[in-house]
Structure 1
Amino acid sequence: MAWCVMDRVDGPCRPENNFRRFEELLEKYYHEEMPEAQRARIRPQHAGAYWASVSGKFRYEVGSVVDHQVVEPLAPHEFPTEVALRKNYSTLGAWLELQLAIIAVDERLKALIEGLEPGVHRFWPLRLVKPNGQDFPARYYGIVIDRFLESFLPEATKPEAFEGGTEFYDGGGHLRKSDYRVRGVGNKAKYNAMVFSTAKIDGAHLWRERRMSNPQIFISDELKAAIDAAGLKIPTHYQVKTI
């Protein structure tokens, strides 16, 4: 079995936050430092569209096409160093869903992920700043999930559990389908009915599904068991079937 992790959550895994300082730095880069060739690739051509393109780099695979634009690699200046918390939280989850599609994990969860998949995913230090200007006491890291799979089996899943399947031609001229999504967000039974290929998962512990938009992030039974054993709080997650 495997587990899908929800990105639409509330509570300790989705604190109220903003990346205002980071957005200001991106805007400055867009207006003052960005090469013309790079600016020409951004549609529409304004700083807000650039922020959106950077956000997509944390969620989509490099080289994929999103909103008619090719997802480019993250540049060094596109990793935020701090996020502003809008409340004085006393506790937070080990896995945080933040603005700009950024995910942060605490030191304990980072160690679990790296123990199971060393060198697969990218981490960088991310400072959590409370409204009074002090740092949140626990250490967090942003994470880029760098494993993308195509393990969803629509042909083995009950039709009432999902929708989507937009047809497109890939670079090799082959007709494919993507943008599968659960039919009924938050309906546990629908998530439980979704079927994935054990062979295509091939021992992965943390990944995104290329052809799915909701859910998109998945963890293995092994990682889930390690998280439970450590008593870590992560966003709502539902078990899916594997065959």
Structure 2
Amino acid sequence: MAWGMHEPSRFGEFFPDGDYVGREEALREYYNQMSEEEKKLRGMVKRFSLTGFSKKYTRDFGPMTDAECPNEFLTVKSYRSLGSLLNTSNRLLAVDQGFKDILEELEPGVHQFWPIEIRMPRNKTYPSTYYGLRIGQFLDAFNPDHSKDECYNISGYENYRGVAPIKKAITGLAVSKDAVVNAHLWREKKLTQPDIFLSNELQQRAREAGLRLPKHFQMKEV
């Protein structure tokens, strides 16, 4: 059983308003050291682009370098409570210690983590430990033939996009059971919105541990 999740798009406990301290400066310095081949892959041959770097957060471009892993997130306002999986600026994900521990137990060495400190106004630091997360698994599991036509659009050659309303769309989409049988957290190669996919075991383990995740809904497996 698979679950689909849209990355949160409204500021709140799963999408804190803020940005990474020193990220752009570090990336500009790294850009000057990149090969022309890497710049071409990111679409940055002519000029530096934050969007070009952000593609690595959501696409199968390989592990991130130290320069691409920001470690200090400064929020615009103070938060009393944040979720266990966060969307932050430029679609970079962050997870708390509990979610990281479960994921590393289920899929050791598959995903990339690094420490992130969440700082708030008045020099306050959010008390829980968080880690940046780059999902390291990209699958071609979406099955349009067994999905409801009204739940997705074709956004390019063999590329698909779920449509609103979110719950109706996700529950009407299907993935291949054989393709996801050993996967616990992944992104799809040809389907966006939902953006993040979880196995039933990961979802249950997170729920049993009392972790709070953004809204997610069951998909069909065929």
TM-score (norm 1): 0.83
2:220 is aligned to 241
Matched position secondary structure for 1:92: coil
**Aligned-residue offset at 1:44:** 6.0
**Aligned-residue offset at 1:133:** 2.4
C-alpha distance in 2 between matches for 1:120 and 1:39? 23
Alignment of 1:108-123 (within 5 A): 108-123=98-113
Matched position secondary structure for 1:234: coil
Counting aligned pairs with the same residue, the percent is 32
**Aligned-residue offset at 1:39:** 8.1
Structure 2 unaligned segments of length 5 or more: list them: none
Distance 1:188 1:85, change over 3 A: same
Q: Does 1:182 align with 2:183?
A: no
2:128 is aligned to 138
C-alpha distance in 2 between matches for 1:196 and 1:26? 36
Structure 1 unaligned segments of length 5 or more: list them: 63-71, 168-176
1:191 is aligned to 170
1:60 is aligned to 59
Q: Does 1:74 align with 2:35?
A: no
Matched position secondary structure for 1:58: helix
**Aligned-residue offset at 1:149:** 0.5
Preserved contact between residue 127 and residue 135 of structure 1 (Cα < 8 Å): yes
Deviation string 1:11-53 (CA, Å, 9 cap, x unpaired) is: 21111111242112223444xx425636863436333x1x212
Preserved contact between residue 9 and residue 236 of structure 1 (Cα < 8 Å): no
RMSD of aligned residue pairs (Cα, Å): 1.9
Q: Does 1:125 align with 2:115?
A: yes
2:19 is aligned to 18
C-alpha distance in 1 between matches for 2:39 and 2:204? 47
Deviation string 1:210-237 (CA, Å, 9 cap, x unpaired) is: 0012112100111111111111111111
Distance 1:111 1:93, change over 3 A: same
Preserved contact between residue 9 and residue 235 of structure 1 (Cα < 8 Å): no
**Aligned-residue offset at 1:188:** 1.2
1:174 is aligned to none
Preserved contact between residue 20 and residue 71 of structure 2 (Cα < 8 Å): no
Distance 1:203 1:38, change over 3 A: closer
Q: Report the count of equivalent residues.
A: 219
1:89 is aligned to 79
Distance 1:164 1:89, change over 3 A: same
